[in-house]
Amino acid sequence: LSDLVENKRLILISTAGAVLGSLGIALAQGPATFLAAALVTGVCSVGVQVLVPLAAKLSSQARQGRTIGLVMSGLLTGIMLARPIASFVAGLAGWRAMFFLSAGITALVGVALLTMLPARHPDSTLRYGALLKSSVDLLRRYPVLRLRAAYQALLFIAFNMFWTAAPIVLTQRFGLGANGVALFALAGAGGALIAPVAGWLADRGLSRSTTFGGLMLLTLSFLGSDMVVAAGSLIAFGVSAVLIDAAVQLNQISGQRIIFGLDPNAGGRINAAYMTIVFVFGATGSVIGSASVASGGWGLTSVIGAAIGGVGLTLFLLFDRRRPENR
């Protein structure tokens, strides 16, 4: 839709929908209304995926990576902080209070977007059905888009696997309670700090090197996490979490810096194709994480995570090693 509908209006509509959805959850009196409101909230939360290509479009070519990095650092920080903050607020004032708070914060964000975000009218004249089809056509046309989506899908599988299995390990191996797990997630948010750095590196023409670094960092972090869990070092396990989050961000920012340059007038469709692949495959990470830690403990989980990184490195060596930087 971001290549069809004026972007500011689309973002504001989705933000308003998220506010209403959060209020609906907070006021829900039964499972049907709760699920309906949750569906509205989930659908409208995709507004952020309109913001990312819009920010890239509004930025100069020389600063595009840093702009994407700034937006994505905020996105990942929000994702990582959501669980511990929700845990603390729910413990203090009940779960409904968290959704009232979420609605209020989202409304404030909406006001800021209303006053500060410039309008952008897409150039496309295609109908919605044709736009959806063109997303598939873009995947066929640009091998680099398929490759970048494959990289990020692999890293997102590993990311979800880690954060599904880690709370189980934290409670069983380290004896942490709910608040302790929430504090651990706060530490993991430190990985978001790498996003602006990744953007800066991408702007300097080092996207390919950053990609290799992210894949290698993920692989080594999972391998190292097995040793630190076996040794019972909670601090070192927290460092592993930060490094894994950082690896995901390194690849994400460098990848988006590349794909948004493929066709400036199709940023929304490119991002839709890219993120659809990432989320569809990434969702399997939660299943893999829960199954692996249940059947083989953290040792099996770490091996699978390292193997996923190894698959990404293999793809890089086969298809990307000789590709020019930022291409």
The single-letter DSSP state of residue 193 is G
325 part of a folded domain: no
pTM confidence score: 0.80
The single-letter DSSP state of residue 263 is -
160 part of a folded domain: yes
The single-letter DSSP state of residue 131 is H
Token pair 């602006």 in the structure block, residue = 196
Q: What domain range is 121 assigned to? A: 7-320
Q: Could you tell me the CATH number of the domain that includes residue 184? A: 1.20.1250.20
Task: Return the structure tokens found at 241.
Answer: 């979490």
60 part of a folded domain: yes
142 part of a folded domain: yes
Q: How far apart are CA 216 and CA 317, in angstroms?
A: 12
Domain count along the chain: 1
303 part of a folded domain: yes
- pLDDT category at 232 given cuts 50, 70, 90 is confident
178 part of a folded domain: yes
Q: Average per-residue pLDDT in the chain?
A: 83
Position 4 scores a pLDDT of: 65
327 part of a folded domain: no
pLDDT digits (tens, 9 = 90+) for 175-220: 888 778 878 877 777 777 777 777 777 778 777 888 899 999 999 9
Contact 10, 2 (CB under 8 A): yes
326 part of a folded domain: no
Contact 252, 210 (CB under 8 A): no
Q: How far apart are CA 210 and CA 197, in angstroms?
A: 10
